[in-house]
Structure 1
Amino acid sequence: MKCPFCGGVENKVMDSRVSRDGNAIRRRRECLACGRRFTTYEYIEEMLPTVVKKDGRREPFDRNKIRMGIRKACEKRPISTETIESLVTEVERFCQDYSGEEIRSSMIGEKIMKLLKELDGVAYVRFASVYRQFRDVNDFLEELKEFKQLHDLKKEKEP
């Protein structure tokens, strides 16, 4: 495993744990060249559908792209790295369970928005603003209005 800091290839595993959902092994490693520590995740490689972008381009599913998008939306929010990884795993599982060889990027985006909406309103709106490419403040306000209506409905149903 190559060190993300110095590029050294010699390292030792300091700690290994099974993730909460049981789908990955989290390893803390220490680079023998620079002494810095980093975390890696080990997953079972499964066949994932090809992602079809809005413009028709096709590209392989990229777990890291999902992680980066969710992480950006959750920036400065009280959301743990483990929770973010759990969301990424849920999106990946959603794609694995999809019955076709190709999946539209819009389906993935909608799944992420659904998960973020349940988790954190601010993260949801951040992701939605990029994903839906809000053109101006009115688009943003419309999304907030819709989110607030759903949020108010949930509150009414709570005992």
Structure 2
Amino acid sequence: MVDSRESREGDSIRRRRECLSCARRFTSYERVEEVPLVILKKDGRREPFDRQKVMKGLLLACQKRPVSLARIEQLVGDLQARLMERPDREIRSRELGELIMDELKGLDQVAYVRFASVYRDFKDLPDFVKALEGLMHKEAATGRAAPVSTSIPAPPSAPPAPEPSKSAKPVPQALFPGEAEAPVLRTRKK
């Protein structure tokens, strides 16, 4: 090999070679042939793996959560690398969703529940509660976090009002905001 350069498009490597027996020079091009990842949808359709589609779903699930964009990008990159290492290039959408949910479970539990609610297409509240209970039981079994109470806490009680002193006169209450005191009704004598 005499010279090696990347092509202008960046999709191949151009190599100048020389034959050892006749000294003739020639050019060869090397291209990486990748078989694309294909997602097999529930309805039987096949579509190419779209990194941006996965990224968009994760961004929606992690919206207003303390998860950095760099961490989401790393998660998508790791997921794509795991899929590329597989011998089969066709992945069921259900399997892909489960892989994403496994990653989200360790990253942020609220994002996990958000993603699961869309991915598993919860129809009503019992489906949602069942998923939350499953998450809480798994955490309790692994000892990672204490189970969260699903009961609604009682509102804090108001502090007791001070008792009026016996020597003070009662202060008339205002009827409307901004009024100093209640209006006095006067009657005329006839």
TM-score under structure 2 normalisation? 0.57
Which residue number corresponds to residue 134 of structure 1? 122
Query: Counting helix residues as a fraction of each chain, which structure ranks higher?
Result: 1
1:61 pairs with one of 28, 49, 59:
49
1:155 pairs with one of 138, 143, 147:
143
**Inter-partner Cα distance in structure 1 for 2:57 and 2:100:** 9
- Count of residue pairs brought into register by the alignment: 114
Which residue number corresponds to residue 124 of structure 1? 112
1:93 pairs with one of 77, 81, 85:
81
**Inter-partner Cα distance in structure 1 for 2:93 and 2:144:** 34
RMSD, matched Cα:
1.9
Q: CA deviation at 1:98?
A: 1.9
Query: Counting strand residues as a fraction of each chain, which structure ranks higher?
Result: 1
Q: CA deviation at 1:46?
A: 5.5
**Inter-partner Cα distance in structure 2 for 1:108 and 1:88:** 11
1:70 pairs with one of 48, 51, 58:
58
**Inter-partner Cα distance in structure 2 for 1:47 and 1:141:** 41
Unaligned runs of 5+ in 2: 1-31, 146-190
Query: Does the aligned pair in 2 maintain the 1:47–1:96 contact within 8 Å?
Result: no
Q: CA deviation at 1:101?
A: 2.5
Runs of 4+ in 1 over 4 A off after TM superposition: 44-47
**Inter-partner Cα distance in structure 1 for 2:90 and 2:136:** 34
**Inter-partner Cα distance in structure 1 for 2:116 and 2:56:** 14
Q: What per-residue deviation string (whole Å, max 9, x for no partner) do you get for residues 67-116 of structure 1?
A: 00111100000000000001111111121122112111111100000000
**Inter-partner Cα distance in structure 2 for 1:147 and 1:62:** 28
Instruction: Please tell me the residue identity of whatever aligns with 2:114.
Output: R
Query: Identity over the aligned pairs, expressed in percent?
Result: 46
Instruction: Please tell me the residue identity of whatever aligns with 2:134.
Output: E
Unaligned runs of 5+ in 1: 1-43
TM-score under structure 1 normalisation? 0.67
Instruction: Please tell me the residue identity of whatever aligns with 1:123.
Output: A
Q: CA deviation at 1:154?
A: 2.3
Instruction: Please tell me the residue identity of whatever aligns with 1:142.
Output: K
Partner-residue secondary structure (3-state), 2:143: helix
Query: Does the aligned pair in 2 maintain the 1:48–1:95 contact within 8 Å?
Result: no
Which residue number corresponds to residue 82 of structure 1? 70
Q: CA deviation at 1:49?
A: 1.8
Query: Does the aligned pair in 2 maintain the 1:113–1:128 contact within 8 Å?
Result: yes
